[in-house]
Amino acid sequence: MLSWMFSTWNRSLAVEASAEPSTRILQDPLKHRSLECLQDLIELGGGGTWPPTATYEDSWPRPLRPYHSVLRIMETSLPVEEPSLDNARNREIIDTFRARMHSELVRCVDIREVERTLEEWQSHSDRSVQSAWLGFFACISFLRHAYRWGVTPIVSEAQSETSVLFPGELDLPWLALQRHFGISSPSGCMTSICYSNMTTAADHLQYSVTAGMPELHSSTEFWNTKLVIDMEVKVAITYMDLENQDAARDALKSANDILRAALKHFFSTMVEKTLSPKVWMAYVQGFQGWALDDVDGISGGQSLIFRTLDSFLGIRPWPTTEKERLHIPEAQRNWLNCLRDYDIRTVAKQRNYDQVTAELESLVKQLRLWRMGHMRRMQPYESVHRPERKTMTAGISVVDAADEEQMILHLKKELGRRLAQTI
């Protein structure tokens, strides 16, 4: 979601109105902290666009390209059609997969060259380099998650691990990526595994965890990422000027219309024919989990649009910096903090801008309705029985509920808390 606000700038100087929202924002000469945060988000966080544009192996420095080749070699060995229910057998499968990946990494990657290259790369900050960093972020995240699980559908043998020692070939670039994007988690995040995994030209996934599986698996995997990205694309709104109540009201009216259409898209996509519940839980959600060293993997809760809405509308409590820093890159966090600091609903109330307040309340109402719908819609997905594993969500870890019914009760309680806070 892109928006910038409280401008006192004369909009007759506005940049080409027909340009893409990201371009308009980047070209806007206004000097304002909120606009600067948004420009950084697009430039540093997205490689010149939001949602991000990632580029892949051809755009990376040569010493980093073998990572892509290793992922391609390993991709098809990860998913199986029928997971084993035998722990000892699964231990063997996981260990064999990890040993194979490790030996491919040792064979293909020159770790000293990688170290030198990453140090040098870190000093470049232009946009095309950012896109390459994003693609590399995706690649290393996929490798790390594949190493972490060793097989998908994920199995309880791997879920029972509390810690895993990763090869230096996967830790060294990860430290550089953590520094570069300003995150602290050892796992991937929505930015690396979803936003950075869609090729712009062909609209397909660059990396897949369902390679070699039937079409239903790959289309569910595709739509899982596509939906997250579509939501970012559809909620691109432009600036609003709080100095002028009428302009602010009109901008918020259009934000309400845009959000309504985006949420409709959300619910018409989260259906069986695009996202198969049977396949989603086993082949998409599991891989995105982490559940090591008390750290979780990817949750829809990391999607920028919903964090932006919460921050813009003052839906508290804010996550602690430490928690948010795990999975949300620095440029995104700065943007969110800027919205939180401004606290538009309080400002509108202080100024007695009743029409602006009414539009803001209407956005809150839509967010509440989305949370209710999302809670209902997640149930068929999260209640699928998978005997090979313990109940788990990618974002809130292994729950190990007695059965699926208990799991749903647990999740309804978790999601219900945020719904109750949406006021």
Question: CB-wise, 71 or 236, nearer to ligand HEM?
Answer: 236
- Comparing CA positions, the residue from 182, 208, 185, 381 lying closest to residue 287 is 208
- Comparing CA positions, the residue from 267, 351, 365 lying closest to residue 313 is 365
Decide: is 251 part of the binding site for ligand HEM (CB under 6 A): no
d(C-alpha 387, C-alpha 225), whole Å: 26
Count of beta carbons in the 10 Å neighbourhood of residue 366: 19
Do 220 and 286 meet the contact criterion of CB atoms below 8 Å apart?
no
**Residue 277-296 contact track with ligand HEM, rule CB under 6 A, x = bound:** ---x----------------
To ligand HEM, the closest distance from the beta carbon of 192 in angstroms equals: 16
Instruction: Out of 300, 327, 357, 389, point to the residue binding ligand HEM (CB under 6 A).
Output: 300
To ligand HEM, the closest distance from the beta carbon of 84 in angstroms equals: 25
Decide: is 400 part of the binding site for ligand HEM (CB under 6 A): no
Decide: is 131 part of the binding site for ligand HEM (CB under 6 A): no
Looking at 2-10, 90-98, 121-129, 375-383, which segment touches ligand HEM (CB under 6 A)? 375-383
Instruction: Out of 23, 299, 355, 383, point to the residue binding ligand HEM (CB under 6 A).
Output: 299
To ligand HEM, the closest distance from the beta carbon of 13 in angstroms equals: 35
Instruction: Out of 38, 313, 378, 407, point to the residue binding ligand HEM (CB under 6 A).
Output: 378
Decide: is 147 part of the binding site for ligand HEM (CB under 6 A): no
d(C-alpha 109, C-alpha 112), whole Å: 9
d(C-alpha 56, C-alpha 264), whole Å: 32
Looking at 11-19, 83-91, 163-171, 297-305, which segment touches ligand HEM (CB under 6 A)? 297-305
Looking at 9-17, 109-117, 180-188, 300-308, which segment touches ligand HEM (CB under 6 A)? 300-308
Helix axes 304-312 and 354-377, enclosed angle (nearest 10)? 140
Do 228 and 192 meet the contact criterion of CB atoms below 8 Å apart?
no
Residue ranges of alpha helices (H) inside 109-234 are 111-122, 127-149, 156-159, 168-181, 215-234
d(C-alpha 286, C-alpha 223), whole Å: 16
Ligand-binding annotation for 374, yes or no, is: yes
Question: Which residues does residue 205 pair with via DSSP β-bridges, in sequence order?
Answer: 198
Interacting residues toward ligand HEM by CB under 6 A: 227-228, 231, 270, 275, 280, 299-301, 303, 306, 371, 374, 378, 381-382, 393-396, 411, 414-415, 418
